[in-house]
Amino acid sequence: MDYGRSERPAGAAPLPTAIKILIAGGFGVGKTTMVGAVSETRPLRTEEVLTETGIGIDDLSGVEEKSTTTVAMDFGRITISDDLVLYLFGTPGQDRFWFVWDELALGALGAVVLADTRRLADCFPSIDYFEGRGTPFVVAVNCFEGARTFRLDEVQAALDLDPGVPVVLCDARQRESAKEVLITLLEHAMKLREARRRAAGD
């Protein structure tokens, strides 16, 4: 294909566009497992090293030397087509890394909030974050063995979710299950997008 700049390797195709979806939730809820279940490669890990000034609200009182913090994010990749690549990012778990979330959430198609019914409160911060930001999200209840099963409307009520927010059951280890969660999210995001477009047009 004759495209792009002359110094590019012969036969190179135009660069695809990348998009991303976030996988959020509490520590140990299965974020990286879900990324790995649908990714075409094993999950990769990337790190941001943040210096004292970048940490902002972090409490460093009593720390005399210049400090740094490393925030790790696991992610995976799904090649959708020749011109579209989807990345899935597991969000860093600690609340004090919200500013990293801001970078991750910018331009994201949406987010999956993974929930464990044994520790439901662990996903509250993620839900608050995406609600506040207006990022489309779904809640996926990861069905751990040994966990009591709840009805989805019970989970919806316990999380005090907007009735429009989908709540689904999943097994984060299973590719088909993880795919279904992502498709539910994308369909929900499309509906939200259409509703916002109509509201803006009024």
Partner 1 sequence: MTRPGDPTEQEWVDDHAGPVVRPYAVTGGRARPVTGTFDLISLVTATRNEVGSESGLGPEHVAIVGLCQRIQSVAEIAAHLDLPVGTVRVLLGDLAARSLVQVREPRATPAGLPDEHVFEAVINGLRAL
Contact footprint for partner 1 (CB under 8 A): 4-5, 7-9, 12, 15-20, 38, 44-49, 68, 70, 73, 75, 77-78, 80-81, 84-87, 89, 103-104, 107, 109, 134, 136, 175, 179, 182-183, 186-187, 189-190, 192-194, 196
CB of 64 to partner 1, least distance (A): 13
CB of 7 to partner 1, least distance (A): 5
For residues 179 and 114, give the distance between their C-alpha atoms in angstroms, rounded to a whole number: 14
CB of 174 to partner 1, least distance (A): 13
Cβ-based nearer residue to partner 1, 14 or 28 = 14
Cβ-based nearer residue to partner 1, 5 or 148 = 5
Cβ-based nearer residue to partner 1, 128 or 194 = 194
Cβ-based nearer residue to partner 1, 146 or 199 = 199
CB of 119 to partner 1, least distance (A): 28
